[in-house]
Amino acid sequence: MVIERDRFLDDTAQWRLSLGLTSRTASMHSLMSALTDEERGAINVSLTRALDEIVDLLRRRRTNGPVS
């Protein structure tokens, strides 16, 4: 099972990244599959906040230095 969020650093499709939570074992897959909508929502909020922080950092880096 995968719970994932995507972001673009700008208005183009060139600067896209994803942050996700992926089950790696059958036990974890079962646990994640059993999450309630509320629990899934809490994970989505956590991933979204983390991705927002990561995107902010990457945007600053992209603005301050050369990137190919």
Q: 42 lies in which domain range?
A: 2-64
Q: Is the pLDDT of residue 64 over 90?
A: no
> What does pTM read for this prediction?
0.81
CA–CA gap between residue 26 and residue 36 (Å, rounded): 18
User: In total, how many domains does the chain have?
Assistant: 1
Mean pLDDT over all residues of the chain?
92
Cα 10 to the center of its chain, rounded Å: 16
- Sign of the Cα pseudo-torsion (42, 30, 36, 7, in order): positive
For 5-45, what is each residue's pLDDT tens digit? 999 988 888 899 999 999 999 999 999 999 999 999 999 99
| CA distance to 12, 14, 39, 50, 66, per residue, from 59 (Å) | 14, 13, 30, 14, 12
